[in-house]
Amino acid sequence: MGQTYHQICFFIKKLFFVNQRNFSISILPIICILPFISGIFVEYTKNIREFIDTEAIVCAGQNVLAHVSPYAPAINCGRMIPARFVYPPITARIESIIQSHIGSTGIVVIYGFIYFTIFLAIMRAALQKDHLLYWRAPFLLCFSASDFLSGNISTIFHGLLFFVAISSVAWPLLLWFTIVIAGIIKPTFVVYSCVFLFQRNLHIMHRLLLSCSSILAIGLALGWTFYVDPTEFMQWLVRLHSVNTYSDFVQGHGFLASVEMFGIHNPKAEMMLYIPFAAAMLFAGLAIIRYAELSPESSIVLGISVCLLLYPRLLDYDEYTLPFGLAVIAMSFEKVKWPGRKWFRRIILGGCLTFALVGGLRGGIVLYWFSIFLLLALATQLILQTYRTRGGWPNLYSGINGKSA
């Protein structure tokens, strides 16, 4: 119990308090973040409806309090014009319990406070002056202003998982609970269960136990939801199917968006392609933390970005923590023994700037595949380099198994 208390205190300190000596502003990050800041003002002047995803959750809770399905039309939501509610029934149930005590206005106020606090913490961490700042800066070009104003709950959980992960490297239980809660509210967050594989200070069996148990816990919670009200559960699945089939909302730029570009829309075919893709991403990530000899904190940050690349359908509001892991990948190219390494570093940084800018202007799918290219290229080069140095294929297991790495 005492260990958990100290873990929570360390996380709060990590989130809210900054070492001022390490927090100073440099020109390149400011230049890269300016399009996002100006975009917020531009979007705000368009008189678009902000926080429509927040209204969707609040409206679903009001429907539950009115004893109707959370997926019913928004007739109990006053002047709200919410987005379509696409979360499991349990999300609406939890929201309705809270709303019955503090009202819908209280929900909005608390949600807004948490949302802006988490996002400001992400911004502060992104601009913090450290050895990764100039590698991280180019990817800030892809921050989306319009999706920031949607108020999607994914931004909260991505940020929360990021800060919990980096502040609980030695104590993974808090991260386990955070992943389970996020996965229950939005099941696609189950991909974060793989982040335990990147905790180098734990034995490999301990990591596998944490990953598998978190997946099982999320599955049991959703199964319980089906047991309590099968009708609502099926309505949720129908809503997901209709949104994925007919709405532009879910095009995104992740794995599913990529395969759909080639006309593949069959779920079984997508799953058959996704499994080897996910295995390749995890193998590449584990190879990097092994052969680039990353610190435990850098390893977990890389793991978070690998989990984001595994996210089935990435949208712009899912990517605010992606630059941190991409910076670790870009910086790790220093471990590659190329002639003229100084120029090689400049080429990598220039490539990151170029593809981040192209991704920001022409759709994130360009940046998505550039990120995958960086990951696979670095892992391949490190493995081949180790093979040449040692005269044989390296043992990946011995390097990722606990503290012997």
Residue 304 lies in a domain: yes
**182 touches 161 (CB < 8 A):** yes
Alpha-carbon distance 121 to 321, whole Å? 11
State the pLDDT at residue 310.
Answer: 94
Which residues 6+ apart lie within 8 Å of 50 measured at CB? 44, 149, 150, 151
Alpha-carbon distance 81 to 226, whole Å? 28
Torsion sign (Cα): 324, 251, 363, 31: negative
Residue whose pair of structure tokens reads 């099926």 in the numeric block: 234
Residue 35 lies in a domain: no
Residue 286 lies in a domain: yes
Res 256 pLDDT > 80: yes
E-only strand ranges, 31-175: none
Residue 172 corresponds to which amino acid? P
Which 3 state secondary structure label does DSSP give 315? coil
Residue 65 lies in a domain: no
Residue whose pair of structure tokens reads 């009200």 in the numeric block: 229
Please report, for residues 21, 83, 245, 319, 367, the alpha-carbon distance to residue 249 in angstroms, rounded to integers and kept in the order given: 42, 10, 10, 16, 19
Interior/surface letters 263-293, b for 16+ CB within 10 angstroms, e for the rest = eeeeeeebeebbeebbeebbebbbbbbbbbe
Q: What is the pLDDT of residues 163-187, one digit of tens each?
A: 999 888 778 889 999 999 999 999 9
Res 35 pLDDT > 70: yes
Higher-pLDDT residue of 50, 225: 225
Res 252 pLDDT > 70: yes
Q: What's the whole-number average pLDDT of the chain? A: 81
Per-residue pLDDT band at 394 (split at 50, 70, 90): low
Per-residue pLDDT band at 359 (split at 50, 70, 90): low
State the pLDDT at residue 393.
Answer: 58
- CB-hemisphere CA count at 13 Å for 44? 7
Residue 110 lies in a domain: no
Residue 387 lies in a domain: yes
Res 69 pLDDT > 70: yes
Residue 298 corresponds to which amino acid? S
> Whole domain around residue 353: which residue ranges?
127-404
Residue 251 lies in a domain: yes
Residue whose pair of structure tokens reads 């793989």 in the numeric block: 194
Residue 160 corresponds to which amino acid? L
Q: Of 393, 341, 334, 397, which is closest to residue 132 (Cα–Cα)?
A: 334
Residue whose pair of structure tokens reads 């990948």 in the numeric block: 329
Please report, for residues 105, 146, 249, the alpha-carbon distance to residue 47 in angstroms, rounded to integers and kept in the order given: 21, 12, 20
Report the first-to-last Cα separation within the chain, whole angstroms.
29
Per-residue pLDDT band at 404 (split at 50, 70, 90): very low
The backbone region for 85, taken as left when phi is positive above 0, alpha when psi lies in -120 to 50, beta otherwise, is beta
Instruction: DSSP for 7-43, please give it.
Output: HHHHHHHHHH---GGG----HHHHHHHHHHHHHHHHH
pTM of the model: 0.85
Alpha-carbon distance 252 to 257, whole Å? 6
At residue 109, φ and ψ (nearest 5 deg) are -65, -50
Domain count, the chain: 1
Res 214 pLDDT > 90: yes
Higher-pLDDT residue of 216, 104: 216
**259 touches 271 (CB < 8 A):** no
Q: Give CA torsion, residues 225, 229, 232, 236, to 10 deg.
A: 20
Class of residue 3 by CB neighbours under 10 A (exposed 0-12, middle 13-18, buried 19+): exposed
Residue 340 lies in a domain: yes
Helix axes 267-291, 296-310, angle to 10 degrees: 170
Which 3 state secondary structure label does DSSP give 401? coil
**262 touches 284 (CB < 8 A):** no
State the pLDDT at residue 401.
Answer: 60
Alpha-helix residue ranges (DSSP H) falling in 187-340: 204-228, 230-246, 255-260, 267-291, 296-310, 322-332
Q: What is the pLDDT of residues 108-146, one digit of tens each?
A: 889 989 999 999 999 989 888 888 888 888 888 778 777
